[in-house]
Amino acid sequence: MRVDVAIIGAGIAGASLAAALAGHRSVLLLEREDAPGRHSTGRSAAIFVRNYGKPVLRALNDLSFGPLSEGGYLSPRGVMTIATRDDRPAFDAFMAEAHGVEQITTEEACAAFPLLRPEAANRAAIERAASDIDVDRLMQDHLRAHRAAGGEVWTKAEVTALTHDGRWQISLADGRACSAGTVVNAAGAWADEVARGAHVRPMGIIPYRRSAAILPVEQDIATWPMILPATETWYAKPEAGRLMVSPADEDPVPPQDAWPEDMVIAEGLDRFSQAVDYEITRVTHSWAGLRSFAPDHVPVAGEAPDAPGFYWLAGQGGYGVQTSPALAAHMAALIRGEASPCPDWVENSLSPRRFA
């Protein structure tokens, strides 16, 4: 198998880039699991929040909003940020950097999220444009576009080694092989491992575990907003008639099929229960996923300075779904030798060269 571009990893990063290159380059998607989207992409909170992350992330959020909204992948949710009297400095810091966020009264906050205790919302603000993302449909549409252009997805295809002899020769664990002019490392938590297998300098990508638990609720909560304290010590979000609560944990772990730890979930639910009038009797189920960050918490997207034809698309942290349209368009432009849709300062911030 000879292709123009081989993409390692079929999460949202790899799938969205494959779709962006469809019809322009021959592309092969290589995925170690038996189906795409099994790791971080299938475990996210699936929310689009413009006021989330550093300025470069917010620029990517803005560039991504149009494609996600025009594609019909967003549905209204809203995100409410709250603070106790003691946590007002964190709230003020959040508001100082926020755009499109409206401060509301304690009464309005409690009306929007009726479980809320008034003292937990001494200050409150809502970003009404925050939306749920239909991640499953987004993934399916990307893979359909990729296949419609003649692209293939190889599953159970673990890349173990890459060598460069003018083209990239790619070896898989099961003995299969392929070659590509360009390789894209979209391996999520495993991105540094893939780089080592290619003798490319790792970027220092560290996976951090984030957990979530589903709680049953009696009320109809479909229209309630997502809610989080300005201190970001937990968050809660309606999820198919039940409440997803995350302890907002950030424990560094080796790349792995992540699972939740009971104690982490229990401590997070305890923090949540201090803000609400809700007796936790049962957790329906829980899970964990990995949010992988570069040392500066900015994605790494561009050609490796030490390996021509080897591109990084990694380190998307907790923003990888909502920033995927902008990152895919940026990467597709670089690979096609065209101008990136991102402003120069964003392109420079994303470049792997910043660690050179």
Task: Give the interface with ligand FAD as residue ranges (CB under 6 A).
Answer: 8-14, 30-33, 38-41, 43-47, 157-159, 186-190, 194, 210, 212, 289-291, 316-322
Pull the structure tokens for residue 193: 């491992």
- Characterise 257 by phi-psi region: left (phi > 0), alpha (psi -120 to 50), beta (else): beta
Residue 24 vs 176, nearer CB to ligand FAD: 176
Residue 91 vs 235, nearer CB to ligand FAD: 235
Q: Report whether 250 contacts 243 (CB < 8 A).
A: no
Q: How far apart are CA 303 and CA 354, in angstroms?
A: 11
Q: How far is the CB of 169 from ligand FAD (least distance, A)?
A: 15
Q: How far is the CB of 291 from ligand FAD (least distance, A)?
A: 5
Residue 122 vs 155, nearer CB to ligand FAD: 155
Q: How far is the CB of 327 from ligand FAD (least distance, A)?
A: 9
Residue 70 vs 119, nearer CB to ligand FAD: 70
Strands 235-239 and 242-246 come out as: antiparallel
Q: Report whether 106 contacts 125 (CB < 8 A).
A: no
Pull the structure tokens for residue 55: 């300025």
Q: How far is the CB of 120 from ligand FAD (least distance, A)?
A: 22
Residue 111 vs 173, nearer CB to ligand FAD: 173
Q: Beta-carbon neighbour count of residue 332 at 10 Å? A: 22
Q: Which of 12, 6, 38 is nearest to 153 (CA)?
A: 6
Q: How far is the CB of 86 from ligand FAD (least distance, A)?
A: 27
Q: How far apart are CA 44 and CA 323, in angstroms?
A: 13
Number of H helices, E strands in the chain: 9, 20
Residue 120 vs 290, nearer CB to ligand FAD: 290
Q: How far is the CB of 155 from ligand FAD (least distance, A)?
A: 9
